Each structure stands twice: as structure tokens, then as C-alpha cells.
Amino acid sequence: MNARFPAIAPDILKLFAARGADAVDVPVLQPADPFLDMAGEDLRRRIFLTESETGAALCLRPEFTIPVCLDHIRTRSGTPRRYSYLGEVFRQRREGGNEFFQAGVEDLGDKDIAAADARSVADAHALLSLCLPGRDLIVTLGDQAIFEAVLAALGLPRGWRMRLARAFGSAEQLAAALDDLAAPTRSSALAEPVASLVADGDLDALAVHISEGMEKAGLSPSAGRTPNDIARRLIEKAELRSVRLSSDAFEALKRFLAIQVALDEAPAALKEFAAAAGLSLGTALDNFTARATAVAGHGLAAGTVRYDAAFGRPLDYYTGLVFEISGPEADRPLAGGGRYDRLLTLLGAGKPIPGVGFSVWLDRIEALREAA
């Protein structure tokens, strides 16, 4: 382990304790399947895989949210419960390096969604303010639930809603999906027998064929997406090629994605958009408005928090709030987080447990502190 322990760490731990977040320590070696299944394509490509003595797929912990949630389920702890962590994570990064420190808080089981969301944003902002005193910080906030509500209100088929929801958080993927939605391709370069199996929508037979091909090629099914997942995506893409969005609906979607306003102006901007487009955003807008009010109650300076309708984070488990915090001169975020209400059930919890959390990149903070 070559990463340097952050000098600011003791102060961060004191802040976590003062905010009622219990320190938790999770193993460095984690089961790989939860990350392969739920942590997003970008993260899946960059984790470090290994195997146990019994052949089970393992990985070095690439982030803390999934391990903390697994530990909560394993210990059968009650809720609401707030966990804090500070430790190394391991994954390949585009900017270089593969070992670095993260700190953060996971807030599990609080049924007051707006209050918990606002507290997560405020705690992340407080941590960065502690580490970088006097530095301007900008919070960019998005909402997966609002985006999905717009897609549903526009009448998009489920397959298209799922594809666009998965692309939310990646500007390139979202742009490509919108291009396909505006002018879907009618041809496929798939070879036989895959083309016929896709045309028939035969998921089971297609998954078996893909599995056999992977086995012949010496590829492990645990190295990426499963044969069943690949087969489902191929069939879904074929179905999507038959759908085209009306010009009015497509223009409405583009107008929505262009919304960028201060958070205190966002509820009114969304209501104005929905009225002009003839759409109902229902409870998603009500929840958004309640969260905006709760965030304002934490006293963050006017203009510090902005809503960007096209902003997401490329992790598959987010369900509502998504946010990141950066400095005005930074080209990379210093903190990021969001809400993941489905995650604990998918990881094996016996009943739904709402969750929201954030992480901060301590190496980026340390670099700014040293530069100052």
C-alpha cells in the first residue's frame, strides 16, 4: 500500500464523530459480484480482481458504499444508522495511480428522505470546508428520479427509459442514446445464429450461445457482464431500434436536459417546464421541492448549490439525489454522492432500507492544500 495517509485525517474523524456517524472498518478484500453487478460499467472496467481458495471471485475494495452496506446487512444492525469511513480504495484511474484514500458517510434507514439528502450534501460541504478553509466550493446537484419521471411522462417505452437511465451521468452515452432515439438505426451487424436468436427474442437460448462462446474463448463469466446480461442487452437494443420519439417529445426532453439554475430556483423552473410540455412529474417533483427546502435550511451560501438537469453520476445503484462538489478552478470533483434506495435489497437485505451517502477524494484535497 503506497498511498500516503492524509495529514487531515484526524480532523475528519473528529468531524464525523461530532455529526453522529459511527466509524466502521470493512475488509480490503471484498466479494466481486456486487461490484460487477451494480457498480457501473466505468467502475467494473477498473477494479482489481482475484479469486479465493475455493474459486470465488474477489476484488480489492474499489469504493466503500457497497462494502459498508454489506457489513450493515451482515451485522443485522438497526436503523436509522449513520456510518463513517476513512481508508484506501483500489482502482485504476484515468488521471493515474490505483491506490488512494477516501472518506465519507453512509446514512441508512432514515425515512425522512428530504432531510437525509440535505444532511448528506451539508456534511460533504462541511468536510471540504474543514479541509480547505476559505476556498469557494460549488455543489452541482442532479436527480435520477426527476429524469426518470420526465422519461415516463413523455411516454417512452420501458426499454428506452432503462437505456437512458443507465446513460444518465455519462455525457457521451446519453448523447449517443439521444441520437439513436432521434434517428434509430434499422440494421444490425450481428452474425448468425445470434441475429436470429435476437430477432426471436429468445433470451435463454441466446444466453447459452454466448456462454458457450465465452467458454471457447477462455473468458471468465465473472470478468464482466454475464451471458444473460449480454443477451438481454442485445434483445433490448433490437427492440429499441423499432421506436422513434415524436419531434415534440424529443424537443421537450432536450429542453429539460438544458435546465441549469440555482437550487432555490429549480422547483419553479421544473414546474414551468412541465406545464409548457404538458407533463406531470408527480411525486418526483414534490420530493425534489422538499429536498431543496431542506438543503436551504442548512444555510449554504446563495448560489453555492446549483441544479443541473443533465447531471448524474455513472454508478448503476443511484435512485434519486446525485451530487458532486468541486472548486471553481478544479477539473475534477472533490466529493460525490447520492441516494441508493434499492441497493440494500439487491445486496440481500430482508426489507427495503433507504440510503444516501457521499465520498471525498482525499488525495485531491491534499494536492490543493499543498499547492496553497
What CATH number is associated with residue 27?
Answer: 3.30.930.10
CA distance 215 to 57: 17
Note whether 167 and 40 are same-domain residues. no
Q: Are 270 and 285 in contact (CB under 8 A)?
A: yes
Report how far residue 260's alpha carbon sits from residue 172's, in angstroms, rounded to the nearest whole number: 19
Amino acid residing at 240: L
At 226 the pLDDT is 81
Closest Cα partner for 13 from 3, 4, 23, 5?
A: 23
The size of the chain, in residues, is: 372
Quote the pLDDT of residue 118.
Answer: 97
Is 43 in the same domain as 62? Answer: yes
Claim to verify: residue 145 and residue 281 sit in the same structural domain: yes
Nearest residue to 64 via CA among 353, 346, 343, 354: 343
| Structural domain range at position 363 | 1-136+350-372
The grid cell for 126 is 462541511
Is residue 254 a part of any domain in this protein?
Answer: yes
**Are 26 and 72 members of one domain?**
yes
| pLDDT per residue of the chain (372 residues) written in tens, 0 to 9 | 456 788 899 999 999 999 999 999 999 999 999 998 887 667 778 899 998 888 899 999 999 999 999 999 999 999 999 999 999 999 987 666 789 999 999 999 999 999 999 999 999 999 999 999 989 999 999 999 999 999 999 988 777 888 888 888 888 888 888 887 776 554 456 788 887 787 767 788 888 888 888 888 777 665 567 888 888 877 777 666 656 667 888 899 999 999 999 999 999 999 999 999 999 999 999 999 999 999 999 998 878 999 999 999 877 789 999 999 998 776 789 999 999 999 999 999 999 999 999 999 999 999 888 887
Residue 255 belongs to a domain? yes
Q: What is the pLDDT of residue 98?
A: 87
Q: Name the CA radius of gyration of the chain, rounded.
A: 22
Distance CA 105, CA 126 (A): 12
> Are residues 315 and 252 part of one domain?
yes
Do 150 and 281 meet the contact criterion of CB atoms below 8 Å apart?
Answer: yes
Q: Do 217 and 274 have their domain in common? A: no
The answer on 57 and 84 residing in a single domain is yes
52 within some domain? yes
Q: Are residues 279 and 321 in the same domain?
A: yes
Single out the residue of 280, 314, 321 nearest to residue 124, CA to CA: 321
- Final residue before a domain boundary, out of 240, 259, 275: 240
- Phi and psi at residue 327, to the nearest 5°: -90, 160
Residues 118 and 221 in one domain: no
Q: Are residues 73 and 52 in the same domain?
A: yes
Asked if residue 295 belongs to a domain, the reply is: yes
Q: Assess if residue 165 is contained within a domain.
A: yes
Phi/psi for 214 (5° steps) reads -65, -40
Strand partners, 99: 90
C-alpha cell at 15: 468531524
Q: For the chain, percent helix, then strand, then coil, each to nearest 5?
A: 45, 15, 35
Q: Does residue 343 lie within any of the structural domains?
A: no
pLDDT at position 222 is 58
233 CB-side CA count, 13 A? 9
Q: Which residues, other chains included, contact 12 with Cβ-Cβ below 8 Å and sequence gap of 6+? A: 6, 86, 103, 127, 130, 131, 362
> Do residues 146 and 279 share a domain?
yes
**144 and 219: one domain?**
no
